Structure 1
Protein backbone atom coordinates (compact mmCIF):
# COMPACT_ATOMS: atom_id res chain seq x y z
CA UNK A 1 0.00 0.00 0.00
CA UNK A 2 2.82 2.44 0.84
CA UNK A 3 4.45 1.67 -2.51
CA UNK A 4 1.19 2.29 -4.41
CA UNK A 5 0.50 5.50 -2.50
CA UNK A 6 4.02 6.70 -3.27
CA UNK A 7 3.57 5.99 -6.99
CA UNK A 8 0.29 7.91 -7.05
CA UNK A 9 1.80 10.79 -5.11
CA UNK A 10 4.74 11.11 -7.48
CA UNK A 11 2.38 11.15 -10.46
CA UNK A 12 0.21 13.81 -8.81
CA UNK A 13 3.21 15.84 -7.62
CA UNK A 14 5.02 16.05 -10.96
CA UNK A 15 1.79 16.57 -12.90
CA UNK A 16 0.55 19.40 -10.68
CA UNK A 17 4.01 20.98 -10.60
CA UNK A 18 4.24 20.97 -14.39
CA UNK A 19 0.68 22.25 -14.86
CA UNK A 20 1.01 25.10 -12.37
CA UNK A 21 4.40 26.09 -13.77
CA UNK A 22 3.14 26.17 -17.36
CA UNK A 23 -0.21 27.82 -16.62
CA UNK A 24 1.48 30.46 -14.47
CA UNK A 25 4.00 31.40 -17.16
CA UNK A 26 2.04 34.55 -18.20
CA UNK A 27 2.71 36.12 -14.79
CA UNK A 28 6.36 36.38 -15.82
CA UNK A 29 5.25 39.44 -17.78
CA UNK A 30 3.55 40.96 -14.73
CA UNK A 31 5.04 42.62 -11.61
CA UNK A 32 7.00 40.18 -9.43
CA UNK A 33 4.44 40.10 -6.59
CA UNK A 34 1.96 38.47 -8.97
CA UNK A 35 4.19 35.40 -9.00
CA UNK A 36 3.59 34.39 -5.38
CA UNK A 37 -0.13 33.41 -5.57
CA UNK A 38 0.41 30.56 -8.09
CA UNK A 39 3.50 29.38 -6.19
CA UNK A 40 1.56 29.39 -2.92
CA UNK A 41 -1.29 27.54 -4.61
CA UNK A 42 1.19 24.91 -5.80
CA UNK A 43 2.53 24.51 -2.25
CA UNK A 44 -1.00 24.07 -0.94
CA UNK A 45 -1.66 21.42 -3.61
CA UNK A 46 1.41 19.45 -2.55
CA UNK A 47 0.34 19.49 1.11
CA UNK A 48 -3.12 18.24 0.11
CA UNK A 49 -1.61 15.50 -2.09
CA UNK A 50 0.52 14.34 0.81
CA UNK A 51 -2.49 14.27 3.11
CA UNK A 52 -5.02 12.52 0.89
CA UNK A 53 -2.72 10.22 -1.11
CA UNK A 54 0.08 9.37 1.32
CA UNK A 55 -1.67 9.89 4.64
CA UNK A 56 0.97 12.41 5.72
CA UNK A 57 -0.26 15.29 7.88
CA UNK A 58 1.50 18.41 9.05
CA UNK A 59 1.68 19.57 12.66
CA UNK A 60 3.16 22.99 13.29
CA UNK A 61 3.81 24.34 16.78
CA UNK A 62 5.30 27.64 17.87
CA UNK A 63 3.70 29.68 15.10
CA UNK A 64 3.39 32.56 17.54
CA UNK A 65 7.13 33.11 16.99
CA UNK A 66 6.58 33.82 13.29
CA UNK A 67 5.83 37.36 12.11
CA UNK A 68 2.46 38.21 10.59
CA UNK A 69 4.22 40.83 8.50
CA UNK A 70 7.62 42.47 8.20
CA UNK A 71 11.09 41.00 7.79
CA UNK A 72 12.31 37.86 9.53
CA UNK A 73 15.26 35.50 9.36
CA UNK A 74 14.31 31.84 9.74
CA UNK A 75 16.92 29.08 10.13
CA UNK A 76 15.15 25.78 9.38
CA UNK A 77 16.28 22.20 9.75
CA UNK A 78 16.34 20.53 6.32
CA UNK A 79 15.59 16.80 6.11
CA UNK A 80 13.12 16.63 3.24
CA UNK A 81 11.99 18.26 0.02
CA UNK A 82 8.87 19.25 1.95
CA UNK A 83 10.94 21.79 3.87
CA UNK A 84 11.43 23.73 0.62
CA UNK A 85 7.66 23.95 0.15
CA UNK A 86 5.84 24.53 3.43
CA UNK A 87 7.31 27.95 4.20
CA UNK A 88 5.39 29.35 1.25
CA UNK A 89 2.31 28.69 3.41
CA UNK A 90 3.65 29.53 6.87
CA UNK A 91 4.84 33.11 6.29
CA UNK A 92 3.24 35.84 4.16
CA UNK A 93 6.19 36.80 1.93
CA UNK A 94 8.59 33.87 1.90
CA UNK A 95 12.05 34.35 0.40
CA UNK A 96 13.96 31.08 0.22
CA UNK A 97 17.74 30.94 0.01
CA UNK A 98 18.19 28.08 -2.45
CA UNK A 99 20.79 26.45 -4.64
CA UNK A 100 21.25 27.94 -8.09
CA UNK A 101 20.61 24.61 -9.84
CA UNK A 102 16.88 24.92 -9.14
CA UNK A 103 16.65 27.89 -11.48
CA UNK A 104 17.51 25.60 -14.38
CA UNK A 105 14.25 23.66 -14.10
CA UNK A 106 12.08 24.75 -17.06
CA UNK A 107 9.15 27.04 -16.17
CA UNK A 108 9.51 26.35 -12.42
CA UNK A 109 12.91 27.98 -12.34
CA UNK A 110 11.57 31.02 -14.18
CA UNK A 111 8.83 31.48 -11.59
CA UNK A 112 11.22 31.06 -8.66
CA UNK A 113 13.56 33.68 -10.10
CA UNK A 114 10.68 36.06 -10.82
CA UNK A 115 9.41 35.64 -7.26
CA UNK A 116 12.70 37.01 -5.96
CA UNK A 117 14.03 33.90 -4.25
CA UNK A 118 17.75 34.12 -3.53
CA UNK A 119 19.80 31.63 -5.53
CA UNK A 120 23.35 30.83 -4.44
CA UNK A 121 26.09 29.24 -6.51
CA UNK A 122 27.72 27.05 -3.89
CA UNK A 123 30.89 26.76 -5.98
CA UNK A 124 31.41 30.53 -6.19
CA UNK A 125 33.04 30.98 -2.77
CA UNK A 126 33.33 34.58 -1.63
CA UNK A 127 31.27 35.89 -4.54
CA UNK A 128 28.37 33.70 -3.45
CA UNK A 129 28.54 35.09 0.08
CA UNK A 130 28.60 38.69 -1.18
CA UNK A 131 25.59 37.99 -3.38
CA UNK A 132 23.75 36.34 -0.47
CA UNK A 133 24.33 39.29 1.85
CA UNK A 134 23.34 41.91 -0.76
CA UNK A 135 20.18 40.04 -1.78
CA UNK A 136 19.34 39.22 1.83
CA UNK A 137 19.55 42.86 2.91
CA UNK A 138 17.33 43.87 -0.01
CA UNK A 139 14.75 41.20 0.83
CA UNK A 140 14.69 42.21 4.50
CA UNK A 141 14.35 45.88 3.54
CA UNK A 142 11.35 44.90 1.40
CA UNK A 143 9.72 43.25 4.43
CA UNK A 144 10.16 39.64 3.32
CA UNK A 145 10.77 36.59 5.50
CA UNK A 146 14.10 34.94 4.66
CA UNK A 147 14.24 31.16 5.01
CA UNK A 148 17.69 29.59 5.02
CA UNK A 149 18.80 26.04 5.77
CA UNK A 150 21.88 26.43 8.00
CA UNK A 151 23.32 23.04 7.04
CA UNK A 152 23.19 24.05 3.38
CA UNK A 153 21.67 20.78 2.19
CA UNK A 154 19.23 18.04 3.17
CA UNK A 155 20.55 15.88 5.99
CA UNK A 156 19.07 12.45 6.72
CA UNK A 157 17.52 11.87 10.17
CA UNK A 158 20.15 10.85 12.69
CA UNK A 159 23.01 12.29 10.62
CA UNK A 160 24.78 15.60 11.15
CA UNK A 161 26.28 18.22 8.87
CA UNK A 162 28.19 21.32 10.05
CA UNK A 163 26.18 24.53 10.17
CA UNK A 164 27.35 26.99 7.55
CA UNK A 165 28.41 30.59 8.33
CA UNK A 166 25.92 32.15 5.90
CA UNK A 167 23.19 32.31 8.54
CA UNK A 168 25.39 34.28 10.96
CA UNK A 169 26.51 36.61 8.17
CA UNK A 170 22.89 37.24 7.20
CA UNK A 171 21.94 37.93 10.80
CA UNK A 172 24.75 40.47 11.07
CA UNK A 173 23.95 42.10 7.72
CA UNK A 174 20.20 42.41 8.34
CA UNK A 175 20.25 43.00 12.09
CA UNK A 176 17.42 40.49 12.49
CA UNK A 177 17.02 37.93 15.27
CA UNK A 178 17.28 34.34 14.05
CA UNK A 179 14.21 32.12 14.40
CA UNK A 180 15.29 28.45 14.76
CA UNK A 181 13.07 25.69 13.38
CA UNK A 182 13.27 21.93 13.96
CA UNK A 183 11.52 19.15 12.05
CA UNK A 184 11.37 15.39 11.65
CA UNK A 185 10.17 15.55 8.02
CA UNK A 186 12.84 13.14 6.80
CA UNK A 187 11.32 10.28 8.76
CA UNK A 188 8.30 10.15 6.44
CA UNK A 189 9.66 11.81 3.28
CA UNK A 190 13.29 10.75 3.21
CA UNK A 191 16.16 12.38 1.38
CA UNK A 192 16.03 11.06 -2.19
CA UNK A 193 13.55 8.42 -1.00
CA UNK A 194 10.77 7.19 -3.26
CA UNK A 195 8.53 5.86 -0.49
CA UNK A 196 6.41 8.33 1.48
CA UNK A 197 5.29 6.79 4.78
CA UNK A 198 1.98 7.79 6.43
CA UNK A 199 2.01 9.67 9.71
CA UNK A 200 2.53 13.16 11.09
CA UNK A 201 5.39 15.46 10.12
CA UNK A 202 6.17 17.83 12.98
CA UNK A 203 7.60 21.33 12.61
CA UNK A 204 8.57 23.28 15.73
CA UNK A 205 9.20 27.01 15.52
CA UNK A 206 11.43 27.92 18.47
CA UNK A 207 11.78 31.30 20.19
CA UNK A 208 14.01 33.76 18.30
CA UNK A 209 17.64 34.11 19.30
CA UNK A 210 18.45 37.72 20.18
CA UNK A 211 19.85 39.98 17.49
CA UNK A 212 23.45 41.08 17.85
CA UNK A 213 24.88 37.89 19.32
CA UNK A 214 28.58 37.32 18.56
CA UNK A 215 28.95 34.94 15.63
CA UNK A 216 30.39 31.97 17.60
CA UNK A 217 27.69 32.30 20.26
CA UNK A 218 24.92 32.52 17.66
CA UNK A 219 26.15 29.48 15.77
CA UNK A 220 26.53 27.40 18.93
CA UNK A 221 23.11 28.34 20.33
CA UNK A 222 21.40 27.88 16.96
CA UNK A 223 22.79 24.40 16.41
CA UNK A 224 22.09 23.36 20.00
CA UNK A 225 18.42 24.36 20.06
CA UNK A 226 17.62 23.02 16.57
CA UNK A 227 19.37 19.68 17.01
CA UNK A 228 17.98 19.14 20.51
CA UNK A 229 14.41 19.76 19.39
CA UNK A 230 14.89 17.70 16.22
CA UNK A 231 16.11 14.75 18.31
CA UNK A 232 13.05 15.12 20.54
CA UNK A 233 10.67 15.15 17.58
CA UNK A 234 12.29 12.10 16.01
CA UNK A 235 12.25 10.18 19.28
CA UNK A 236 8.55 10.95 19.70
CA UNK A 237 7.88 9.97 16.09
CA UNK A 238 9.58 6.61 16.56
CA UNK A 239 7.43 5.85 19.59
CA UNK A 240 4.07 7.11 18.36
CA UNK A 241 3.67 8.98 15.09
CA UNK A 242 0.07 10.01 15.68
CA UNK A 243 -1.52 13.02 17.37
CA UNK A 244 -5.09 14.20 17.81
CA UNK A 245 -4.75 17.89 17.08
CA UNK A 246 -3.30 18.76 13.69
CA UNK A 247 -2.61 22.14 12.18
CA UNK A 248 -4.47 22.24 8.87
CA UNK A 249 -3.00 24.66 6.36
CA UNK A 250 -5.80 26.70 4.79
CA UNK A 251 -6.00 27.16 1.06
CA UNK A 252 -4.52 30.49 -0.07
Structure 2
Protein backbone atom coordinates (compact mmCIF):
# COMPACT_ATOMS: atom_id res chain seq x y z
CA UNK A 1 0.00 0.00 0.00
CA UNK A 2 1.38 3.41 -0.99
CA UNK A 3 2.19 5.80 1.88
CA UNK A 4 -0.31 8.56 2.53
CA UNK A 5 0.50 12.22 2.00
CA UNK A 6 0.59 12.71 5.77
CA UNK A 7 3.14 9.91 6.21
CA UNK A 8 5.37 11.39 3.51
CA UNK A 9 5.24 14.83 5.12
CA UNK A 10 5.92 13.32 8.58
CA UNK A 11 8.97 11.39 7.36
CA UNK A 12 10.29 14.45 5.54
CA UNK A 13 9.84 16.57 8.67
CA UNK A 14 11.69 14.01 10.83
CA UNK A 15 14.54 13.87 8.33
CA UNK A 16 14.88 17.65 8.17
CA UNK A 17 14.75 18.15 11.97
CA UNK A 18 18.49 17.60 12.58
CA UNK A 19 19.37 20.01 9.77
CA UNK A 20 17.09 22.74 11.15
CA UNK A 21 18.36 22.17 14.70
CA UNK A 22 22.00 22.59 13.68
CA UNK A 23 21.58 25.46 11.24
CA UNK A 24 18.78 27.61 12.67
CA UNK A 25 19.25 29.29 16.04
CA UNK A 26 15.59 30.39 16.07
CA UNK A 27 14.37 26.84 15.39
CA UNK A 28 16.67 25.51 18.11
CA UNK A 29 15.34 28.11 20.59
CA UNK A 30 11.69 27.20 20.06
CA UNK A 31 12.41 23.48 19.80
CA UNK A 32 14.20 23.42 23.18
CA UNK A 33 11.36 25.25 24.90
CA UNK A 34 8.88 22.90 23.22
CA UNK A 35 10.80 19.92 24.61
CA UNK A 36 10.96 21.56 28.05
CA UNK A 37 7.25 22.37 28.30
CA UNK A 38 6.21 19.16 26.57
CA UNK A 39 8.07 16.89 28.98
CA UNK A 40 6.80 18.85 32.00
CA UNK A 41 3.22 18.49 30.78
CA UNK A 42 3.62 14.77 30.07
CA UNK A 43 5.17 14.21 33.50
CA UNK A 44 2.28 16.10 35.07
CA UNK A 45 -0.20 13.71 33.43
CA UNK A 46 1.80 10.72 34.69
CA UNK A 47 2.12 12.07 38.23
CA UNK A 48 -1.37 13.43 38.88
CA UNK A 49 -2.84 9.98 39.79
CA UNK A 50 0.01 9.38 42.27
CA UNK A 51 -0.15 12.89 43.75
CA UNK A 52 -3.91 12.58 44.20
CA UNK A 53 -3.27 10.14 47.06
CA UNK A 54 -1.74 13.00 49.10
CA UNK A 55 -3.14 16.27 47.67
CA UNK A 56 -1.48 19.48 48.78
CA UNK A 57 1.57 17.66 50.17
CA UNK A 58 4.78 19.53 49.32
CA UNK A 59 6.66 16.21 49.27
CA UNK A 60 4.99 15.64 45.89
CA UNK A 61 7.45 18.19 44.51
CA UNK A 62 10.36 15.87 45.22
CA UNK A 63 8.62 13.21 43.14
CA UNK A 64 8.08 15.75 40.36
CA UNK A 65 11.70 16.87 40.46
CA UNK A 66 12.94 13.28 40.14
CA UNK A 67 11.27 13.08 36.72
CA UNK A 68 11.82 16.65 35.54
CA UNK A 69 15.41 17.46 36.50
CA UNK A 70 16.70 15.40 33.54
CA UNK A 71 15.28 18.07 31.21
CA UNK A 72 18.29 20.24 32.03
CA UNK A 73 20.60 17.61 30.54
CA UNK A 74 18.55 17.55 27.33
CA UNK A 75 18.77 21.34 27.05
CA UNK A 76 22.48 21.40 27.87
CA UNK A 77 22.08 23.21 31.19
CA UNK A 78 24.25 22.51 34.24
CA UNK A 79 23.39 23.75 37.73
CA UNK A 80 26.01 24.15 40.47
CA UNK A 81 24.74 24.60 44.04
CA UNK A 82 26.75 26.54 46.61
CA UNK A 83 25.79 27.11 50.23
CA UNK A 84 24.02 23.78 50.38
CA UNK A 85 24.26 23.75 54.19
CA UNK A 86 21.87 26.70 54.44
CA UNK A 87 19.31 25.16 52.12
CA UNK A 88 19.17 21.71 53.71
CA UNK A 89 18.35 22.90 57.25
CA UNK A 90 15.08 21.44 58.52
CA UNK A 91 13.43 24.74 59.37
CA UNK A 92 10.80 27.08 57.99
CA UNK A 93 12.01 30.17 56.16
CA UNK A 94 11.12 32.56 53.35
CA UNK A 95 13.31 31.92 50.32
CA UNK A 96 13.73 34.94 48.06
CA UNK A 97 15.30 34.34 44.65
CA UNK A 98 15.96 36.38 41.54
CA UNK A 99 13.73 35.60 38.56
CA UNK A 100 15.21 35.54 35.04
CA UNK A 101 13.22 32.98 33.06
CA UNK A 102 10.88 30.01 33.24
CA UNK A 103 14.13 28.04 33.19
CA UNK A 104 14.41 28.94 36.89
CA UNK A 105 12.02 26.06 37.52
CA UNK A 106 14.58 23.61 36.12
CA UNK A 107 17.13 24.94 38.59
CA UNK A 108 14.59 24.48 41.37
CA UNK A 109 13.92 20.90 40.24
CA UNK A 110 17.65 20.26 40.47
CA UNK A 111 17.88 21.36 44.11
CA UNK A 112 14.47 20.24 45.42
CA UNK A 113 15.81 17.07 47.09
CA UNK A 114 18.13 19.33 49.09
CA UNK A 115 15.31 21.66 50.14
CA UNK A 116 13.11 18.65 50.95
CA UNK A 117 9.96 20.50 52.10
CA UNK A 118 9.40 23.60 50.00
CA UNK A 119 6.45 25.25 48.30
CA UNK A 120 6.22 28.18 45.92
CA UNK A 121 4.11 31.30 45.57
CA UNK A 122 2.86 31.41 41.96
CA UNK A 123 0.53 33.65 39.98
CA UNK A 124 -3.01 32.27 39.76
CA UNK A 125 -2.80 31.97 35.96
CA UNK A 126 -0.43 29.02 36.40
CA UNK A 127 -3.24 26.98 37.96
CA UNK A 128 -5.26 27.15 34.73
CA UNK A 129 -2.40 25.77 32.61
CA UNK A 130 -3.59 22.18 32.98
CA UNK A 131 -2.32 19.51 33.41
CA UNK A 132 0.67 21.36 34.90
CA UNK A 133 -1.56 23.65 36.97
CA UNK A 134 -3.45 20.75 38.52
CA UNK A 135 -0.19 18.94 39.33
CA UNK A 136 1.16 22.15 40.89
CA UNK A 137 -1.96 22.46 43.06
CA UNK A 138 -1.57 18.85 44.19
CA UNK A 139 2.03 19.74 45.14
CA UNK A 140 0.80 22.44 47.49
CA UNK A 141 1.75 25.54 45.50
CA UNK A 142 0.18 28.78 46.74
CA UNK A 143 -1.63 30.68 43.98
CA UNK A 144 -2.14 34.43 44.28
CA UNK A 145 -3.66 37.26 42.27
CA UNK A 146 -0.78 39.63 41.61
CA UNK A 147 -3.24 42.40 40.75
CA UNK A 148 -4.73 42.28 44.26
CA UNK A 149 -1.84 42.71 46.69
CA UNK A 150 -4.03 42.75 49.81
CA UNK A 151 -5.75 39.49 48.92
CA UNK A 152 -2.41 37.94 47.91
CA UNK A 153 -0.85 38.91 51.24
CA UNK A 154 -3.85 37.49 53.08
CA UNK A 155 -3.56 34.14 51.27
CA UNK A 156 0.15 33.88 52.06
CA UNK A 157 -0.32 34.92 55.68
CA UNK A 158 -3.03 32.30 56.16
CA UNK A 159 -0.60 29.62 54.96
CA UNK A 160 2.18 30.79 57.26
CA UNK A 161 1.09 28.90 60.38
CA UNK A 162 1.07 25.62 58.47
CA UNK A 163 4.47 26.48 57.01
CA UNK A 164 5.94 27.18 60.44
CA UNK A 165 4.41 24.09 62.03
CA UNK A 166 5.58 21.72 59.29
CA UNK A 167 8.97 23.46 58.82
CA UNK A 168 8.28 24.17 55.17
CA UNK A 169 10.33 26.61 53.11
CA UNK A 170 8.29 29.18 51.18
CA UNK A 171 9.87 30.21 47.86
CA UNK A 172 9.00 33.68 46.54
CA UNK A 173 10.33 35.63 43.55
CA UNK A 174 10.22 39.20 44.95
CA UNK A 175 10.88 40.80 41.55
CA UNK A 176 7.48 39.50 40.46
CA UNK A 177 8.07 39.41 36.70
CA UNK A 178 10.88 37.40 35.18
CA UNK A 179 13.42 39.55 33.33
CA UNK A 180 16.74 38.37 31.91
CA UNK A 181 18.50 41.74 31.68
CA UNK A 182 21.71 41.17 33.62
CA UNK A 183 20.41 42.95 36.72
CA UNK A 184 18.38 42.20 39.83
CA UNK A 185 15.33 44.46 39.65
CA UNK A 186 13.51 46.25 42.51
CA UNK A 187 11.64 43.99 44.90
CA UNK A 188 7.97 43.95 45.79
CA UNK A 189 7.17 44.05 49.51
CA UNK A 190 5.12 40.84 49.86
CA UNK A 191 7.88 38.40 50.82
CA UNK A 192 9.27 40.80 53.41
CA UNK A 193 5.85 41.51 54.90
CA UNK A 194 5.39 37.78 55.40
CA UNK A 195 8.88 37.28 56.82
CA UNK A 196 8.45 40.06 59.38
CA UNK A 197 4.88 39.21 60.38
CA UNK A 198 5.77 35.55 60.86
CA UNK A 199 9.22 36.31 62.29
CA UNK A 200 10.70 33.77 59.87
CA UNK A 201 14.23 34.20 58.50
CA UNK A 202 14.83 35.20 54.90
CA UNK A 203 17.01 32.80 52.92
CA UNK A 204 18.45 34.49 49.80
CA UNK A 205 19.02 32.26 46.76
CA UNK A 206 20.87 33.73 43.77
CA UNK A 207 20.92 32.34 40.22
CA UNK A 208 23.90 33.61 38.21
CA UNK A 209 23.38 35.24 34.80
CA UNK A 210 21.60 33.36 32.03
CA UNK A 211 24.20 34.48 29.50
CA UNK A 212 23.16 31.60 27.23
CA UNK A 213 19.56 32.83 26.86
CA UNK A 214 18.20 35.72 24.81
CA UNK A 215 14.54 36.14 23.97
CA UNK A 216 15.31 38.96 21.56
CA UNK A 217 17.94 36.95 19.65
CA UNK A 218 15.92 33.73 19.96
CA UNK A 219 18.93 32.01 21.48
CA UNK A 220 19.04 29.17 24.01
CA UNK A 221 22.49 27.60 24.11
CA UNK A 222 24.12 25.21 26.54
CA UNK A 223 25.21 26.85 29.77
CA UNK A 224 26.26 26.69 33.39
CA UNK A 225 24.42 28.36 36.26
CA UNK A 226 25.71 28.83 39.79
CA UNK A 227 22.95 28.75 42.42
CA UNK A 228 24.19 30.37 45.61
CA UNK A 229 22.33 30.03 48.91
CA UNK A 230 23.39 32.76 51.33
CA UNK A 231 23.22 32.65 55.15
CA UNK A 232 19.71 33.34 56.49
CA UNK A 233 18.78 36.89 57.45
CA UNK A 234 16.99 36.99 60.80
CA UNK A 235 13.76 38.95 61.19
CA UNK A 236 13.48 38.42 64.96
CA UNK A 237 12.31 41.62 66.63
CA UNK A 238 11.71 43.44 63.34
CA UNK A 239 8.45 45.24 62.57
CA UNK A 240 6.90 46.95 59.57
CA UNK A 241 9.03 50.04 60.07
CA UNK A 242 12.08 47.87 59.28
CA UNK A 243 10.63 46.56 56.00
CA UNK A 244 12.39 48.92 53.57
CA UNK A 245 15.76 48.44 55.25
CA UNK A 246 15.30 44.65 55.14
CA UNK A 247 14.42 44.79 51.45
CA UNK A 248 17.45 46.93 50.64
CA UNK A 249 19.80 44.76 52.67
CA UNK A 250 18.57 41.56 51.01
CA UNK A 251 18.65 42.96 47.48
CA UNK A 252 22.12 44.48 47.92
CA UNK A 253 23.77 41.27 49.09
CA UNK A 254 21.98 39.27 46.40
CA UNK A 255 23.04 41.72 43.68
CA UNK A 256 26.65 41.51 44.84
CA UNK A 257 26.64 37.70 44.64
CA UNK A 258 24.78 37.76 41.31
CA UNK A 259 27.43 39.94 39.70
CA UNK A 260 30.38 38.10 41.26
CA UNK A 261 29.20 34.62 40.22
CA UNK A 262 28.23 35.87 36.77
CA UNK A 263 31.71 37.41 36.31
CA UNK A 264 33.29 34.17 37.46
CA UNK A 265 31.43 32.17 34.81
CA UNK A 266 32.21 34.69 32.06
CA UNK A 267 35.91 34.58 32.98
CA UNK A 268 35.80 30.78 32.97
CA UNK A 269 34.21 30.80 29.52
CA UNK A 270 36.80 33.28 28.24
CA UNK A 271 39.65 31.14 29.59
CA UNK A 272 38.20 28.03 27.98
CA UNK A 273 37.84 29.76 24.62
CA UNK A 274 41.41 31.07 24.82
CA UNK A 275 42.69 27.58 25.65
CA UNK A 276 40.80 26.05 22.71
CA UNK A 277 42.29 28.63 20.34
Q: TM-score range by the shorter chain?
A: 0.7 to 0.9
CA RMSD in angstroms comes to: 2.7
Q: TM-score, normalised by structure 2?
A: 0.76
Q: Which has the higher helix share?
A: 2
Across the two proteins, how many residue pairs are aligned to each other?
Answer: 242
Q: Which has the larger radius of gyration?
A: 2
Contact 2:58 / 2:119 at 8 angstroms: preserved in 1?
Answer: no
Q: CA deviation at 1:199?
A: 2.4
Q: Structure 2, unaligned stretches of length 5 or more?
A: 1-21, 273-277
Contact 1:94 / 1:144 at 8 angstroms: preserved in 2?
Answer: yes
Higher relative contact order structure (alpha carbons within 8 Å, sequence separation ≥ 6): 1
Q: 1:156 to 1:122 in 2, by over 3 A?
A: same
178, 181, 184: which is aligned to 2:205?
181
Contact 2:209 / 2:225 at 8 angstroms: preserved in 1?
Answer: yes
Q: Structure 1, unaligned stretches of length 5 or more?
A: 245-252
Q: Give the match for residue 4 of structure 2.
A: none
Alpha-carbon distance in 1 for matches of 2:106, 2:75: 16
Q: Give the match for residue 141 of structure 1.
A: 165
Q: 1:148 to 1:34 in 2, by over 3 A?
A: closer
Q: Please list the CA deviations of residues 179-200 of structure 1 after superposition, one character each: whole Å capped at 9, or x if unmatched.
A: 1111125323456885322221
Q: Please list the CA deviations of residues 47-98 of structure 1 after superposition, one character each: whole Å capped at 9, or x if unmatched.
A: 32322x3322111111111134231221111112232343342410111011
Q: Give the match for residue 36 of structure 2.
A: 13
Q: Give the match for residue 116 of structure 1.
A: 140
Q: TM-score, normalised by structure 1?
A: 0.83
Alpha-carbon distance in 2 for matches of 1:144, 1:243: 41
Q: CA deviation at 1:171?
A: 0.7
Q: Give the match for residue 65 of structure 2.
A: 43
